[in-house]
Structure formats: C-alpha cells, structure tokens
Amino acid sequence: MALAIRAPRFQPLPVSISASSTSCATSARPSSSAPAAAAICAAASPFTEATSSSRYRRDAWSYTAQDSSSSSSVAAAAAASGRRDDEIALQLPELRRLLEALRASRGKGLEGDGDGSGPGRVALVGTGPGDPDLLTLKAVRAIEAADLVLYDRLVSNEVLDLVGDGARLLYVGKTAGYHSRTQEEIHELLLSFAEAGANVVRLKGGDPLVFGRGGEEMDFLQQQGIRVEVIPGITSASGIAAELGIPLTHRGVATSVRFLTGHSRNGGTDPLFVAENAADPDTTLVVYMGLSTLPSLAPKLMKHGLPPNTPAVAVERGTTPQQRMVFATLNDLVDEVHSADLVSPTLIIIGKVVALSPFWVESPEQDALANENSYKTEAKR
C-alpha cells in the first residue's frame, strides 16, 4: 500500500535512475544545470558559517569598543586563518563592558530590593534542523525575551531573525578545524552573564539534548546554582525524515530506531564501535555528523550482516531551501555521496523504511527481485 504523505516543501529535481544502482542526487530547487545548482547550494549556506558576513553583522556590537568596521575585518581574517585567540581578544573589551553594565544594574536592584536583584537564567533552546516553521511556540517566546543569545553554527539565519532588537548575539559555533569557542569557554560565558542577571538563551540546532552537548552545559550551570530551562527542539532525525516522507519506525518494516554519532570526543571511543550491534535489518539507523566516517561505517555494517541493498539516504541541510539529498543502496551510498559532493551538515538514514519515501525509485533489477520474492511468497500460501 502506498504511503500517503505531504511532499517536501522544497521539491527535489526529478532525475533518471541508472539500471546498475538505485541512486539519485536531487537538487533543492529545479535548475537547468544540475552541477551548477549543486555548486550554488554548497556555497550558499542557510546557517552561520564562521566567516560569513551575516555573522559579523549580528556580532558587530562586540567590536564597538574599537573601530568596529576594521575590527570586524580583522576578526574575519582571524577566523579564516584559524586564529581564534586573536578573534576572542578583539571581543573581550566589549564583553567586559556589557558584563559590568549588567552587574551595575543588578546592584541597583539589590539596593532597591527590586525585581532585578536575582541572578539571571539560562534557557537551552533547540531550534530544529533549519526550517523556522518547526520552532515550538515556547522556543519563539524564549528567543524574543532574551538579553543575550549565544548561538551555534547550525542555527539557521531565519531563526536568528526572530531575536529581539534589544538583544545581543554572540557566535560560539564550531566547525571542523575551527572552534570559535571551546566548550569550557562557552560554559564560562553562560555562567558569567547569568550571574550578572542576564536572561541568556543558548541556541542549538536540532534538540539540545541529542548530540548537542546540552547535558554538559546544563550540568555545569546547575552545579553553579544557575536556573536552567531546557526547551526541546525537533531533532534532525525526526524533522528531515518527516520532510522526505520516511517513517523512522513502521509496522512490519522497522521495529526500532537508533541514533548514532559520526564524531567522538578527542581521545574517545571510535564512534563506529557500535557497527556490529547496529547491523540489524529491522532497525532504522540515523547517523548524525557522519560524512567523514561514512566510508568506514558502511562496509562495517555490511560486514556485520546488513544487506548491501539496504535503502539509504544522505540529506544535506535538510528542511532548508538549500536541501539536497542522495538516495542509494548501502553498497553504493559512499560513492554516490562522494559524486554529489555533499557538505556538512548531512544526516544519513539507513534502513528499509527509506524505500517508503515517495522519492525512492527502484532500479529494474530490484523491481525484478521484488516481483520474484512476491511470487515465492504467494506460492507458499
């Protein structure tokens, strides 16, 4: 029975499927030139990249203690070359000035026994996979009421547009090879501004407690006596699967779902050590941050028993206007992802449920195999 679903908001480009493999690389929006469209999608990120001009427009306040225009240029150059310490040094004077102003305001509240006498609070807010329409009402209210917003790379530009005019924004994003702030520095920023009385919002892509290190921030702040509220977001697995019409579990097809991370902490356990246990044909696997480890993960899954013809999809920048996706069987997925030149963030879904998507197209060989299996099943009845 066909699965009736709503088509993705960003309609993919129809492409032909080769007879030798079940795969398709689709562009977010129709274009006369697929390679050109792919290049444009790779260049125009819906998120805040470390050196993007939108980042420095939002964070301009943090450079106003000096000549903001020249300081922003110097900071961008520092980010581009990986000199994070130089960039932080440019921001420190204005960060200190803001802290002093908040502390002074809190001090006046203490003297007058007013409402502003207590410490501030921190809200860890999940913003979903990128589409601002997937934000919860509670998240929107928290964003609009913030005094200071510390935001990650994978918070979409459209979500950041919801921040109030009077709030300060500070980028604390991380990408491969460049961390604008270490996790410990983020902890200290959250603590310092909350202690000074600010209403701090920590914006994270997806859900803050699913591979978002929100648990670490919550634990650190609570140990320091700071009130922490966690506002959940739609995790990328749920949001992107729904966008493509893929049920993560489905009666008779997948009885469970498992989330994996393609990254481990420095010196930590290999994130692929779960491959043996994860190779269950009745389980849907969702791999976060798995582009770099996919070439190692796919062979391990097949070695431990996952059929090579298991349907899979890799989705770049899911739910955003720049969404691109590659459907393929597991044995072809690595090559097809490489050919499509997908970039981070890319979510990978592996399992039989992928074939329930209306964008999954069977190859002639698989059609023949499915018919043969159907005949065998009928013959046994």
Is 325 a residue of the active site? no
* Residue 118 vs residues 60, 106, 203: alpha-carbon distances, Å: 29, 7, 23
| 152 catalytic per annotation | yes
Measured CA to CA, the distance from residue 259 to residue 140 in angstroms comes to 27
Q: What is the DSSP string of 300-351?
A: HHHHTT--TT-EEEEEESTTSTT-EEEEEEHHHHHHHHHHHT--SSEEEEES
Residue 352 among the catalytic residues:
no
CA-closest candidate to residue 235, choices 166, 183, 286: 286
- Name the catalytic one among 174, 300, 302, 335: 174
Residue 328 main-chain phi, psi, to 5 deg:
-165, 160
List Cβ neighbours of 353 (8 Å cut-off, separation of 6 or more). 246, 247, 248, 249, 250, 253, 254, 284, 311
The amino acid sitting at 330 is L
Q: Catalogue the long-range contacts made by 114-117 (C-beta closer than 8 Å, 24 or more residues apart).
A: 116/197
Cα gap 358→7, rounded to integer Å: 8
Cα gap 358→245, rounded to integer Å: 7
Q: What DSSP assignment string belongs to 147-168? A: SEEEE-TTS-HHHHTTS-TT-E
Q: How many CB atoms lie within 10 A of CB 127?
A: 31
**Given 131, 207, 218, 289, which residue is catalytic?**
289
Point out the catalytic residue in the list 59, 152, 207, 332. 152
- CA dist., res. 126 & res. 208, Å (int): 5
The set of catalytic residues is 152, 174, 289
